[in-house]
A and B are shown apart, each in its own frame.
Chain A
Amino acid sequence: MAEQHKDSIRVALAGQPNVGKSTVFNLLTGLSQHVGNWPGKTVEQKAGTCEFDSLTFDLVDLPGTYSLSANSPEELIAREYIIREKPDVVVAIVNAATLERSLYLVAELLPLGVPLVIGLNMIDVAEQQGLSIETHVLEAALGVPVVPMVATKGRGVRELLTRIQDIACDGAGYQPNPPDIRADHKQVLQRIEELIDSYTPQEYPPTWVALKVLEGDEQITQMMRPRVPQGTWKEIAGIIGQHEDACVAVASGRYSWIARMVRAAVVKPKVGPITLTDRLDRWATHPLWGLVILVAILALTFALTYALGSPLQKLMDRYIIGGLASLATRFLGGAPAWLLSLVVDGAIHGVGTVLTFFPILLIFFAVLGILEDVGYMARAAYVMDRFMHLMGLHGKSFLPLFLGFGCNVPAVLGSRVVESPRARLLTILVAPLVPCTARMAVIAFLAPVFFRAPTLISWGLLTLNLGVLVLAGLLLHKVILRGERVAFIMELPLYHLPNWHTIAIGVWQRLVSFLEKAGTIILGVSLVTWTLSQFPGGTLETSWMAALGHWLEPIGSLMGLDWRMMVALLSSLIAKENAVATLGVLFGQTKSEASIAVALRAAVAPSAALAFLVMQMLFIPCVATVSAIKQETNTWRWPAFAVLFLLIVSLAAGLATYRLAMLFALS
């Protein structure tokens, strides 16, 4: 371009939304603005003039767009204007604080062949963020003038106009450095350019058109198709068909170019603006420490639950259950003995015992709610995911599995999000091994009954449970999945202060749901258990329940468990909390005044108790989960497999625990 004299310069202002383009336009045009519509469109067009250095600048404000693909009318307007109207200069306003994002539009503007000037706006915001942009380096790397600006304060406007004038009047030094297509597609692009070159309308840059055809740009493809002879077009279509990933290669070239520019020109402080999230994540998402922290948090959660919940639970047991029982006894003084027994032994000892979980659950849900609300749970999922990586389960599977900590049913139902049928099946089959709150509540109730260090026992049980989950996953993975691997990208939210209102609502909803369950399914099972334990003979020892229990006793005796424990385990099939309700009914019937806890301690040795807890953690899923598995797999084969598999796993684990405990003389 030779130096030329001009009276006016036509300038188009381009930029992404929120980069301060309108501020620059208003600053330059002031009262001379006129507003209309783009021809044939409902998109607003703003134009105006500006006098500077005895020159008139005719400015057109192009619609704000992120790129120049044919995704929206705004993008089409912007690129069509530049190509057809050929302004003397296009000014791209970019946000210095979000340079990487802003440069994408520049990467698309450069191949259009119109002289470009970059207004590097919001340079003050970038500086506040600790970013220092070396403008002259960026200018050299891009090959186009770069003007640092703070449009809101009017800074850089004169220099912008000077640079526009320079380039419009003498573009000799203008040598832009546009992005390149990825190296392995260069020849493909070249071939397409050769094929379309002579048919491309004069105003369109052939390389750009070839690029757009290769990218599959609808508008350009439609424009070129009727112009190119059929045979040639067939060849082009063939090339595109062979290079399905060409659109990625084109975009990839742009991103590599952006990364190069930013690396060259942006100086980040060595220490960097380390946020609280960065600092916490250094530990919380570390492969080893992340797991240690997760385990420690789980242990702390249990410790807190026991320290605060267990005394409350004991108080509830003594005053509410005891009080209710004596109240019922007094109230039903004249009633038949069976009715009194039904109310006291069946309902109060059954459901009442489960209801004493309330403080434990309250604390447990509250702690989980807080962890969730501050943003830790996403990290827990990420750390767990690395762990689950071992068994070929990733991201999408751990979401449903994490739901499983609440209840196994949504874990099974949630497995729908896993597309691969085999990965879905694996998720469904291991979901019942996720320790749900019902099972954890049973542990929370029973561990302090039998052991002096309930936190350690609970933590150990949970770890064992997760260990078995991984082992089972590994085993099933080998059989079902045969090496299929899935990849995920995860965005971790920022940590933030807890919102107590949200947490309270979450805890409340979960507790209400627990109370509903206690009032329906657990009450029902308690009454059935009572009925079976009273009939036909009127005593526990001669009841149907005892008959069933004695039938199970041979298995139980292997682990030092009497028939009542086996019946309790079996009753957890209906709902896991029933294990405690059943123990309440069966051990509440002892003649002594001792509480259920004392009766349990007297009847079950610690080694047997540990075996019981292990079995109850790993036992057959509850009926709701089994029916969910049936529903999701649409066959009885897999629920039957899950029941059998977990029966074997739990019995084997129970037996091993009992034998090991005996060996280490826990008794």
Chain B
Amino acid sequence: MLFELLEMLRSGGTHTLKDMARQLDVSEMLVQSMIHELVHLGYLKLAAQSCPGSCEGCPTASCCAIGLEGRLWTLTEVGRRALQSQDP
């Protein structure tokens, strides 16, 4: 199941939790757990986290027009290597 999740990242692009859950035929909750597991195992990492909601102390506050909520994960070097080793 974790390999299937990693496999979905092979072609690049951005996937939402909802998309992944639908493709793997599991709930978003399970996808979330799997992402945390893969982060723990060093295959994924948190790339960006929602802005804390307060502009104070943020270096881009003066010119930021758009903040983003939600989190973003990406493959680590280990994750990329694992995908390569699974190459058909």
Contact = CB atoms under 8 A, between A and B. Distances in A.
Contacts of B6: 248
Contact of B68 (A245, A377, A487, A502): A377
B72 A490 contact: yes
A513 B58 CA distance: 14
Contacts of B44: 489
A259 interface: yes
Nearest to A513: B62
Given A100-B30, A255-B1, A513-B62, A502 B9 contact: no
A389 interface: yes
Contacts of B27: 100, 262
Contacts of B60: 403, 406, 410, 413-414
A83 to B, nearest CB: 23
A71 B75 CA distance: 22
B3 A487 contact: no
Contacts of B47: 395-396, 417, 488
Interface string B1-28: 1110010111111111110100011110
Nearest to B49: A491
A106 B13 CA distance: 34
A405 B74 contact: no
B29 to A, nearest CB: 5
A407 B65 CA distance: 8
Interface string B29-71: 1101111011001011001101001010001111111111111
A485 B11 CA distance: 7
A487 B10 contact: yes
Given A244-B82, A245-B85, A489 B9 contact: yes
Contacts of A292: none
Contact of A403 (B2, B41, B50, B66): B66
Contacts of A395: 14, 47-48, 72, 74
A253 to B, nearest CB: 8
Contact of A377 (B8, B12, B18, B67): B67
Nearest to B64: A406
Contact of A505 (B17, B18, B48, B55): B55
Given A100-B33, A389-B12, A389-B13, A405 B65 contact: yes
Given A251-B37, A259-B1, A406-B64, A377 B69 contact: yes
Contacts of A436: 63
Contacts of A247: 41
A255 B2 contact: yes
A419 B25 CA distance: 32
Contact of A410 (B18, B24, B59): B59
B16 A491 contact: yes
A513 B72 CA distance: 29
User: Which of the listed residues B29, B71, B72 has the most CB atoms from chain A within 10 Å of its own CB?
Assistant: B72
Nearest to A247: B41
A252 B3 contact: yes
A399 B69 CA distance: 11
Interface stretch (A378-386, A453-461, A527-535): A378-386
A389 B81 CA distance: 22
Nearest to A266: B27
A644 B75 CA distance: 35
Given A256-B1, A490-B14, A491-B71, A409 B66 contact: no
A285 B62 CA distance: 29
25 contacts: A100-B29, A245-B82, A248-B43, A252-B3, A258-B30, A259-B24, A262-B30, A263-B25, A372-B67, A381-B68, A399-B72, A403-B60, A403-B65, A403-B66, A406-B60, A406-B63, A410-B59, A410-B64, A437-B63, A487-B13, A488-B72, A489-B44, A490-B16, A493-B50, A509-B61
Given A378-B70, A382-B14, 16 more contacts: A244-B82, A259-B26, A372-B66, A389-B14, A396-B74, A399-B48, A405-B65, A436-B63, A487-B8, A490-B15, A490-B16, A491-B16, A492-B18, A492-B70, A509-B62, A510-B63
Instruction: Give the top 3 A-B pairs by smallest Cβ distance, nearest first.
Output: A407-B63, A406-B65, A485-B12
Interface of A: 98, 100-101, 104, 182, 244-245, 247-249, 251-252, 255-256, 258-259, 262-263, 281, 285, 365, 368, 372, 375, 377-378, 380-382, 385-386, 389, 392, 394-396, 399, 402-403, 405-407, 409-410, 413-414, 417, 436-437, 485-493, 502, 505-506, 509-510, 513
